[in-house]
Chains A and B, each alone.
Chain A
Amino acid sequence: RKEVEQDPGPFNVPEGATVAFNCTYSNSASQSFFWYRQDCRKEPKLLMSVYSSGNEDGRFTAQLNRASQYISLLIRDSKLSDSATYLCVVPSGGGADGLTFGKGTHLIIQP
């Protein structure tokens, strides 16, 4: 299994719909996870962290499934401005500080 794996999409979703995508990771020792968002031709920016119990931030919910080694991101009531690439991020492991990024899932919200 690759370190971090994501479905590249694109996910084409009508405005107002709910969309969810997953990310699988290989390092079972990973403790903290993140979702970053990257707009076209821009730098990645932190969307939310994901901890053991999962967390919610407005329309966004991130969950962690340690047994199956995946994290998910759920977006409710999607907006046009949610169109972006969503990057799953896990620590590089081995005590390193680096972050390993997935290749991202491309989301397109359609009016």
Chain B
Amino acid sequence: DAGVIQSPRHEVTEMGQEVTLRCKPISGHNSLFWYRQTMMRGLELLIYFNNNVPIDDSGMPEDRFSAKMPNASFSTLKIQPSEPRDSAVYFCASSHRSGGSTEAFFGQGTRLTVV
């Protein structure tokens, strides 16, 4: 298996533009997580899905952020409009939930810079 695949790896965009980050989880995994990492705040859980259904989006910073998971093999995180303070590394992770917390496998991340 190729692991969790994220695209793009790097994104530089101007303030106000829409940004879409993509994630393909590991086949067979039923939980998917979006995290954001900055020096100041560390790794923050933004939202997670279980069986394609959003379970907890309390970490989503504001209405400019939205996430979807139309099927078991694809998820997107969209920021519209983007702001410089959104600059961070965004990680997608997936796991196979079989009762209790299990190991999460991370993608390589998308490094977002908003100028």
Residues of A within 8 A of B (CB): 31-32, 34, 42-46, 49, 87, 91-92, 96-104
26 A-B interface contacts by CB (under 8 A)? A43-B91, A43-B107, A43-B109, A44-B43, A44-B106, A45-B106, A46-B103, A49-B103, A87-B43, A91-B100, A92-B45, A96-B48, A96-B55, A96-B56, A97-B31, A97-B48, A97-B55, A98-B33, A98-B45, A98-B48, A99-B104, A100-B45, A101-B42, A101-B45, A102-B42, A103-B41
A42, B109: Cα distance in complex, Å: 8
A44, B107: Cα distance in complex, Å: 9
Binding site secondary structure of chain B: strand
Chain B's nearest CB lies how many Å from the CB of A32? 5
Instruction: Name the interface size band of chain B.
Output: 20 to 34
A104, B48: Cα distance in complex, Å: 22
